[in-house]
Amino acid sequence: MSARPFQTEDSALRPLADKVLASTRLDAVDALALYRSADILAIGWLANHVRERLHGDRTYFNVNRHINPTNVCVAACRLCAFGRKKDAPGSYTMALEVAWQTAASGYSEAVTEFHIVGGLHPDLPFQYFLDLISGLKQRFPGVHIKAFTMVEIAFLAKIAKLSLRDTLIQLKEAGVDSLPGGGAEIFTERVRHIICDHKIDGQQWLDTARLAHQLGLKSNATMLYGHIENDEDRVDHLLKLRALQDETGGFQTFIPLAFHPANTPLQHLSTTTGFLDIKSIAVSRLVLDNFPHIKAYWQMMTPKIAQIAQRFGADDLDGTVIEEKIYHDAGATTPQGLRRQELIRLIREAGREPVERDTLYRPVTRTETSVTVAV
Ligand code: V47
C-alpha cells in the first residue's frame, strides 16, 4: 500500500477521499465529482489504494483467442464498424468447420479461453451456435468458452423462439462457461437511441445478465465511453451495474471501452484522450466497490495506457487475443495480438506481479516450455 499521503488540489475530492479510506460506499454525487475533477493524480491515488487493498501488486492476464463467427448483423448500430448487412462487401459467416479451424489456428496448449462474439445474423439457426460451441468443447475440452453478449443471447432467444432462460440453459449445456461483457454500451435511453437503436434496451441487458447469473453463469460488464454520453449517463450506468452486482454477485470484471469512431457513422467524433481513458478506469474502480476486477483492455486503450492504468485502479490487462476485428475495423492501430512474454514485460515494468489466470481468475501455473514461450 502506498506510503505517500493523499493530497488534492480539488476540495470536492476531500470528503470523498475520507469515504474511500473508510471503505464507505460512494454515491451518485461522489461519482459525478470524480468525473468532473481534473485532479487525476488524486483520483488515481484513491483508485490505486482500493486496487492494492483488493489485489496487492498482482496484475492478471490470460492466454486467450478471440473468434468472431460472423459480422453479418441486422442491428446497424452507429457505434459499430464491424457489422455488415448480409451480402454487403466484406460480410462473412464462418462455416462451422472454418470456425473450429480458426480456433485451432491460434491454438496451443497454453490457450485457456475462447472469447466468442459476433453479429446478429438473421438466418443462422440457433442450432448453428449450439453446434459451434459443442464442437469446440469436443475439440478443446480444457478451454473455457466465454461466449455471446447479452444482446446476442436475447437475439438467439428470438430466433429460437425460446425463453431467455431456456436459451441460456441450452447454451450452457452445449458448453458455454461464462459470458463476456459487451453490448452494455450506455444504459440511458437517450444515448442508446442514438448509438445502438436496434439493440435490446438497458433494462433488458441487465435482466439477461441477472438470469445468466442465476443460472450459474458468471459474466463481465462493459461501458462504452467517449462518444455522446455525459457524466450523468456514466454514473447512471455504473450505479445500475453495482445494484445488480449487489443482487447476484455474478459479475467478475468491469471493462471500460473507449469509443473508436473511425469507419462508423459517428466518425466525426474525436477519439478519447489518455486522460479520459485513465480517469474511466479509476472512477470505475472507486464506484464499483463490489466488482472484484477492473480490466484495462490493452486492445482498446493501447498497451501504453493499459500499462499505466495498472497504477490507476486496474488489475487486469486481458490477454494474448491473437486476432481482433471489432476495434480494428473501427481504426484501432494496436497490434492484433500480444505475446505472453510481452504482457509479462508490460506488467513487470509497471512494478506489478504478473499472474496468469484462467477466465474465472484461478491462477494458471506452468513451467516455461517451448509452448508457453511461443504464445
Ligand atoms: O459491445 C463496438 C464495443 C464491444 C466499437 O468481457 C466498440 O472480457 C469501440 O465487449 N469502438 C465488444 N468499441 C467487445 C467487448 C469485450 C472486449 C474485451 C473483453 C471483453 C470481456 C469484452 O465492443 C461492444 C461495443 O461496446 N465496440 N464497436 C467501436 N467502434
Note down pLDDT in tens along the chain; length 375 residues: 556 789 999 999 999 999 999 999 999 999 999 999 999 999 999 999 999 999 999 999 999 999 999 999 999 999 999 999 999 999 999 999 999 999 988 667 789 999 999 999 999 999 999 999 999 999 999 999 999 999 999 999 999 999 999 999 999 999 999 999 999 999 999 999 999 998 999 999 999 999 999 999 999 999 999 999 999 999 999 999 999 999 999 999 999 999 999 999 999 999 999 999 999 999 999 999 999 999 999 999 999 999 999 999 999 999 988 888 888 999 888 888 899 999 999 999 999 999 999 999 999 987 666 555 456
Distance 182 CA to ligand 1 centre (A): 5
Q: Measured from the CA of 264, which atom of ligand 1 is nearest? A: 30
Name all residues whose Cβ lies below 6 A of ligand 1.
79-82, 117, 149, 180-183, 185, 220, 222, 224, 255, 257, 259-260, 264, 297, 318, 326-327, 330
Closest CA to 73 of 64, 62, 82, 65: 82
- Give residue 368's pLDDT: 65
Distance 368 CA to ligand 1 centre (A): 32
Counting beta carbons within 10 angstroms of the beta carbon of residue 36, is it exposed (0 to 12), middle (13 to 18) or buried (19 or more)? exposed
- Give residue 365's pLDDT: 86
- Give residue 108's pLDDT: 72
Q: Which residue's CA lies nearest to atom 12 of ligand 1?
A: 182
Three-state secondary structure call for residue 356 = strand
Counting beta carbons within 10 angstroms of the beta carbon of residue 206, is it exposed (0 to 12), middle (13 to 18) or buried (19 or more)? buried
Q: Which of 116, 257, 264 to mutate to test ligand 1, by most ligand atoms within 8 A of the CB atom? A: 257
CB 163 within 8 A of CB 170: no
Residues 280, 301: Cα–Cα separation, whole Å: 11
Q: Which residue's CA lies nearest to atom 29 of ligand 1?
A: 260
Q: How far is CA 301 from CA 90, 209, 277, 290, 317, in A?
A: 26, 25, 7, 24, 10
- Give residue 335's pLDDT: 87
Q: Which of 177, 224, 336, 360 to mutate to test ligand 1, by most ligand atoms within 8 A of the CB atom? A: 224
CB 237 within 8 A of CB 291: no
Q: Which of 326, 357, 358, 361 to mutate to test ligand 1, by most ligand atoms within 8 A of the CB atom? A: 326
- Give residue 218's pLDDT: 98
Distance 15 CA to ligand 1 centre (A): 34
Residues 361, 356: Cα–Cα separation, whole Å: 8
- Give residue 2's pLDDT: 58
